[in-house]
Amino acid sequence: MDILDVVEPFLNEAGYDVRTSTSGSIFQHIQRNHLDLILLDIFLHEKDGRVLCQQVKTNQLTRHIPVVLFSAYVGRDDALRETLAQDFIQKPFDLYELLEVINKYVP
C-alpha cells in the first residue's frame, strides 16, 4: 500500500481538498493552481523533493505556499537546513500528527 492511499482519504475526511502527484514535474501544476500547502516527500520517483522545495520557495509566484517535507531517510534538522520548508515529519508518522502539523499552516 502506498502512503498516498492512506493520507489522501484521511485528509479528505478531515475536510481538505487534496491533490496528489507522484511526479517531480509537479512544479508546473503548483504554479497554475492555488495551493494552501504542499506536503512533499523528499524521495520522489523523478526528482529530489528538496530540490523541488527550493524551486517552490525561491519562485515569486509560489514562495508563499507552506511546504511540509517528510522522509524516512533524512532527519528533520538536515531537511530544514537544506531547504526553505516550513516543517518536517519523520516517516513513519501518525496520521493525527500529520493533521496537527497541517493545521498549523492551513486554518
pLDDT digit of tens for each residue in the chain (107 aa)?
588 889 999 999 999 999 887 765 676 777 777 889 999 988 877 778 889 899 999 999 899 999 999 988 777 777 778 788 999 999 899 999 999 999 999 97
Q: CA distances (Å), 42 to each of 9, 18, 26, 68, 80, in order? A: 21, 18, 13, 10, 11
Cα 95 from Cα 107, distance rounded (Å): 17
Which domains are seen in the chain, by residue range? 3-98 (3.40.50.2300)
